Amino acid sequence: MAEKNETEKIFTIPLGKTYKRKSERKRSPYSIRIVKDYVKTHTKAKTIKLGEELNKAVWERGIRRPARSVRVKIVMDGGVAKAELVGFEYREFKASPKTEKKSTKEKLMERLGPKAMQKEKEEKTVEGKEEEKTEKADATKEDAEKPENK
């Protein structure tokens, strides 16, 4: 039920102009902006929050073909307008954080397990010894090539 400081309004927001104004790859984000602007002009709210189901309804068919119109219930709570699809209660949502992609080497290590780790350590130790040998050899060559000052 609506409390005393909350008011509810129901609007049908037309989104058809999205198809005429924007290219295919920009339509759904533009539709979301249209919804926010519509709510802002009709409620005079300072901040607008869109619900999860409303967002899903606009994005349901992808970025190229957003919904042509959306029926929205707006609940005013002070200076905040909370918009949600008719038939659903407002639920706040946040975009999921981006996950870092693993490199091919990390994926391979997960798949192969501890044996691969052990083998990699052995390779590093062998490479380390070879590098030490080459460094020592380079140093001795440089000393031999330097002429002695007399």
The counts of H helices and E strands in the chain are 5, 4
Q: What is the structure's pLDDT at 4?
A: 57
Q: What is the structure's pLDDT at 94?
A: 79
Contact in structure between 6 and 43 (CB atoms under 8 Å): no
Cβ neighbors of 75 (< 8 A, separation 6 or more) are 2, 6, 7, 8, 81, 82, 84, 90
Dist. CA 35–CA 82, nearest whole Å: 12
pLDDT of residue 104 exceeding 90: no
**Domain 6-85 superfamily per CATH:** Ribosomal protein L31 (3.10.440.10)
Rounded average pLDDT over 121-134:
73
Dist. CA 90–CA 82, nearest whole Å: 7
Q: What are the domain boundaries of the chain?
A: 6-85, 104-142
pLDDT 10s digits, 9-25: 999 999 999 999 999 99
Dist. CA 107–CA 112, nearest whole Å: 9
Higher pLDDT, 71 or 117: 71
Contact in structure between 39 and 45 (CB atoms under 8 Å): yes
Q: What is the pTM of this model?
A: 0.61
DSSP 135: H
Rounded average pLDDT over 77-94:
90
Evaluated on CA atoms 142, 144, 145, 150, the torsion sign reads positive
Range with the lowest mean pLDDT among 65-74, 85-94, 118-127?
Answer: 118-127
The rounded mean pLDDT for the chain is: 84
Angle at 49 between CA 44 and CA 53, to 5 degrees: 130
Q: Which residue has the tokens 């905040």?
A: 80
Q: What is the structure's pLDDT at 147?
A: 62
pLDDT 10s digits, 27-50: 999 999 999 999 999 999 999 999
